[in-house]
Structure 1
Amino acid sequence: MSAYNSLNFRILLIEDEPAEANLVKMALKENNIQCNLHHVTDGLEALEYLRNGNPENAGYQLPDIILLDVNMPRMNGQAFLTEIKSDHNLSYIPVIVFSSADSESEITTSYQLGAVSHIIKPTDMAAFIDTFRIIDAYWFKLTRLPVSKPYLDRVSIE
């Protein structure tokens, strides 16, 4: 079985804390995950990016996965999930909630709103790095995502 090359994967990171975003970038680097990462700081900025593209990149394509923090200004993660999952052109993109929010109600809400996973941010650096090794193994090597997007245009939904 051949594995995908992580260079082909596009990740949208929605994280308002610069230090947390830098930790994600460092964890990707430590695990030699050389994917295309785009970082925005809140749900509104993410929706703008998803709906209107990236003016700095003529070859812009939608992300393969979204890493989403829950607690953010302007538009929090729950409002973002509600919005993206109601948009036919974006709803197929897997959203992984990656947050320090660990209450049962927040976790349940993440899944109810359409998240494919809710991962609690590790506070230990080694565990943080290892989390991205696991994300890499699952999302970039094991999981197969559709090549053409949005694929839902060709699927009959009743």
Structure 2
Amino acid sequence: MTTLRSILLVEDNPDDERLTLRALRRGNITNPVIVAHNGEEALQRLGAMHPLPIVVFLDLKLPKVDGLEVLRQIRSREATQNLPIVVLTSSSEERDIFNSYHLGANSYVRKPVSMDEFTTAVERLGMYWTQINQVSSYL
């Protein structure tokens, strides 16, 4: 029996955290979800995770260490440099989009404003990254 790899959700907003977790459940995503509430906690959790998560959903506007710095540090470490990372944020600033891709994000998704759109987007993201996308077992 294969153990499902986790999803690391890095989100400081409790409402967005709840909505994301609910959307993943609604999308029948059964992978365990580990939540970090700031950038520092995300880096600590990631350093202790074996195996690595199947994907990281990363907010940009985080306390302690911002999301771009989290992304930079993940990509600078050999063990995590190829880890799939989806920036899931409310920012539509061109600078944030550019910097995210420049630092190695696999995808940049702006959080939709409406609850229904947000739920649909997260369901689809969860389904893609856990069921459709192929991830190397070396990660």
The TM-score normalised by the length of structure 1 is 0.81
In the alignment, the residues of structure 2 paired with residue 132 and residue 46 of structure 1 have an alpha-carbon distance, to the nearest angstrom, of: 19
Quick check: 2:5–2:51 contact (8 Å CA) kept in 1?
A: no
Counting only pairs closer than 5 Å after superposition, residues 37-76 of structure 1 correspond to structure 2 as 37-53=33-49, 60-76=50-66
1:109 and 2:99 are equivalent in the alignment: yes
Point out where structure 1 has 5 or more consecutive residues left out of the alignment.
Answer: 54-59, 150-158
Aligned partner of 2:27 in structure 1 is 31
Quick check: 1:31–1:129 contact (8 Å CA) kept in 2?
A: no
1:73 deviates by 0.9
Point out where structure 2 has 5 or more consecutive residues left out of the alignment.
Answer: none
1:38 deviates by 0.2
Task: Name the count of aligned residue pairs.
Answer: 138
1:136 deviates by 3.1
In the alignment, the residues of structure 1 paired with residue 9 and residue 121 of structure 2 have an alpha-carbon distance, to the nearest angstrom, of: 15
1:50 deviates by 1.4
SS in 1 for 2:88: strand
In the alignment, the residues of structure 2 paired with residue 48 and residue 130 of structure 1 have an alpha-carbon distance, to the nearest angstrom, of: 30
1:52 deviates by 2.8
Counting only pairs closer than 5 Å after superposition, residues 139-150 of structure 1 correspond to structure 2 as 139-149=129-139
Aligned partner of 1:136 in structure 2 is 126
1:8 deviates by 1.8
In the alignment, the residues of structure 2 paired with residue 11 and residue 109 of structure 1 have an alpha-carbon distance, to the nearest angstrom, of: 23
Paired letter, 1:125:
M
Which contiguous aligned blocks of 4+ residues in structure 1 show a shift greater than 3 angstroms?
Answer: none
1:9 deviates by 3.5
State, as a whole percentage, how many aligned pairs show the same letter.
30
What is the aligned counterpart of 2:72 among 73, 82, 97? 82
SS in 2 for 1:8: coil
Paired letter, 1:19:
D
In the alignment, the residues of structure 1 paired with residue 58 and residue 38 of structure 2 have an alpha-carbon distance, to the nearest angstrom, of: 9
In the alignment, the residues of structure 2 paired with residue 136 and residue 15 of structure 1 have an alpha-carbon distance, to the nearest angstrom, of: 15
Paired letter, 2:84:
P
RMSD: 1.6
1:130 deviates by 1.0
Larger Rg: 1
The TM-score normalised by the length of structure 2 is 0.91
